[in-house]
Structure 1
Amino acid sequence: MKNIFKYIIKPFLFLILILCILLIYAHFVEPNLLVKTTYTVQAPSDVKECKIVYFSDTHLGNLYDQEHLSRIVEKINSQDPDIVVFGGDLLDNYARDQEILDLDFIKSKLKEISPDSKKYAVYGNHDYGGGASRVYSDLMENGGFTILNNTSLYLEEFNLRMTGFDDYLLGSTDPELYQSREEAFTVLLSHEPDVAQLISMPQAGLMLSGHSHGGQVTLPFLTEHSLPIGATKYIKGHYPECGISANLSLYVSKGIGMTVLPFRFLNPPEIMVLQIRN
């Protein structure tokens, strides 16, 4: 009996304890973190040095309370950005969560984000699904963000171009738009990172994406089979030499909120800070 307890029951109880600790961490601790990941981007000499803050996939709603916005705003503003970009998926499921979402509160918090900087956003798949298409543009525009939906803007003060694509899964983008002929240094915005494989451009540029949540929960052999469509090749971090012409530098955010499961593991919520240097 002692041997059974020592070699079978005791290790099993220890394993259960470890699993409980990991579940508590993944549910109560990591989702409430907010880290900053900084990259230095080398741009042509005629591009003015600037700072871009990118955040994505807040998924406000049942799994990630809108009160988190206060901390997100504080974190972004502390970086003193020149440009702020939101990568899509503001709400998780509007039809399900509309009773617990305060749209006026969300607008006010978005408006507090670096009001003196230039602010841009694109659509994600959750900004269409779940009825969010009825409110997304109103929330972002009243929050001071310009939505780039298959549109492009030249920022003369920085000598760079911002181009945003519609959501790859639920939106509509003419494939011709992925073939850029723009000579200016360009920052591309696409919610789904795998769009990078379709991009062709005449000179070096960069692309900012989210969607994957970095896998949200990182587990060996399992995460790679649960990645969402549109984020199976590029998952998180920096990918140099992407695109058809291999001169696109892709940065994929782990995002901030959660969807499907109320857990994050080895993928803490993040904002990305890109220092544009020449």
Structure 2
Amino acid sequence: MIWLLVLAAVFLGAGAVMAAAMVAAAFRSRLVTQDIFLERLPAAFDGYRILFITDTHRRRLPEELLLPLQGKVDAVFLGGDLTEKGSPMDRLLKNMKLAASIAPVYAVHGNHDYRANISLVDNIIRGSGARLLVDENCVIERAGARVILTGVDFPRQGGKKAYGPLPATGAPSADTCRIILVHDPLWLSMQEEVPADLILAGHTHGGQIVLPFIGQRHTDPFYRKYLAGMYELPRPQGSGMPPLKLLISRGFGTAHLPLRWGSPAELHVLTLRRSDNSVSK
């Protein structure tokens, strides 16, 4: 009988240690730097640097990591879930002020933003000077060249089929380098064709808790294939378009419980590079 009690104590102790490790992992900060090569990137944008942050939820953005980036990145892209229901609005305000102090900010909604006081959330986002993209395009110019940034809004009513149409750029897709900022990469599974070069997304948290031998258990098959990291998606034969790049961030905050395992929190500094296959622009 004693050995059963000892065994139970060992399991309980191990569980407590693992839970503490998960909580600690949820509050760590990690800055991931990465080059992204795009064939159709204009020459003037070679070396363009983006601070990409998504799924902040309740967390405070780390000044010690982000303030040194002032003057060293060209834009800040925020991929949604900038807050959540019950999170203090002054935290969102401070996060937005910090982001706006680094470089021009472009943002989209996530599902948790709509569950909060969305009118107040939007006032804070726009009041910081950020450009909130709601199913719309924005032209980013540099040295006479331009890139189109499209912000895809998360459906206010939720659901897979409630997304609005992708806004037209007003220019031939073959001549336009386009980046799409969307909260949930599942949006991609509903598109027959995506006239863009790069998609930046979040939402998945990389599974948030990924256990050895078990992995993550997303119900939608899409997430089992596209969970976190960089992907290259082939185009239909004969399209003449280069492969579509997709980056899914593990995000900075956590959903539901402040726990992480096997999927560390991350912020990104992305440097756009012209691919060796780029044509002259």
The two structures have a TM-score, normalised by structure 1, of 0.80
Equivalent in 161, 168, 172 of residue 148 of structure 2: 161
Q: Residue deviations 1:156-213, cap 9 Å, x none?
A: 21621111111157365334549995332111111001222326245x6111101011
CA contact (8 A) 1:111 1:142 kept: no
- Once residues 146 and 221 of structure 1 are traced to their aligned partners in structure 2, the CA distance between those partners, rounded to angstroms, is 43
Matching residue of 1:136: 121
Indicate if the aligned counterparts of 1:126 and 1:132 stay in contact, CA closer than 8 A. no
Matched, 1:88 2:80: yes
Question: 1:75 is matched with which residue?
Answer: 65
Q: Which residue of structure 2 lines up, in the alignment, with residue 33 of structure 1?
A: 28
With over 3 angstroms needed to count, the CA separation of the structure-2 counterparts of 1:116 and 1:267, relative to structure 1, is closer
Is the CA contact (8 Å cut-off) linking 1:30 and 1:264 kept in structure 2? Answer: yes
* Secondary structure of 1:135's aligned partner: helix
| In structure 2, distance between residues paired with 1:137 and 1:19 | 41
Structure 2 Cα separation of the partners of residues 243 and 150 of structure 1: 23
One-letter code aligned to 1:167: F
Any idea what SS the aligned residue of 2:264 has? coil
Q: Which residue of structure 1 aligns with residue 113 of structure 2? A: 127
In structure 2, how many angstroms separate the alpha carbons of the residues matched to 1:220 and 1:58? 26
CA contact (8 A) 1:55 1:86 kept: yes
Q: Which amino acid aligns with 1:22?
A: M
Would the alpha carbon gap of residues 231 and 267 (structure 1) be closer, same or farther in structure 2, given more than 3 Å must change?
same
The answer to whether 1:190 aligns with 2:185 is: no
Residue 106 of structure 1 pairs with residue 92 of structure 2? yes
Does structure 2 retain, via aligned residues, the 8 Å contact 1:196–1:207? no
Is residue 77–residue 114 contact of structure 1 (8 Å, CA) maintained in 2?
Answer: no
CA contact (8 A) 1:52 1:275 kept: yes
State whether structure 2 residue 226 is matched by structure 1 residue 234: yes
Partner of 2:117, secondary structure, is helix
2:101 to 98, 107, 115: 115
Q: Which runs of 5+ in 1 are unaligned?
A: none
Aligned-partner Cα distance in 2 for 1:192–1:239: 15
Aligned: 1:42 with 2:34: no
Between the aligned partners of 2:214 and 2:235, the Cα distance in structure 1 is: 27
Instruction: Tell me the equivalent position of 1:200.
Output: 193
Report the Cα distance in structure 1 between the residues aligned to 2:253 and 2:84, rounded to whole angstroms: 8
Residues of 2 paired with 1:76 and 1:235: CA distance?
26
Counterpart of 2:261 (choices 216, 240, 265) is 265
TM-score by length of structure 2 reads: 0.79
Q: Structure 2: which 5+ residue stretches go unaligned?
A: 275-281
Deviation at 1:102, TM superposition (A): 4.1
- Correspondence for 1:152: 137
Name the CA shift for 1:162/1:74 in 2 (closer, same or farther; >3 Å). Answer: farther
Give the CA RMSD over aligned residues. Answer: 3.0
Letter paired with 2:217? H
Identity fraction in percent: 26
User: Which residue of 1 is the match for residue 211 of structure 2?
Assistant: 219
1:19 and 2:15 correspond: yes
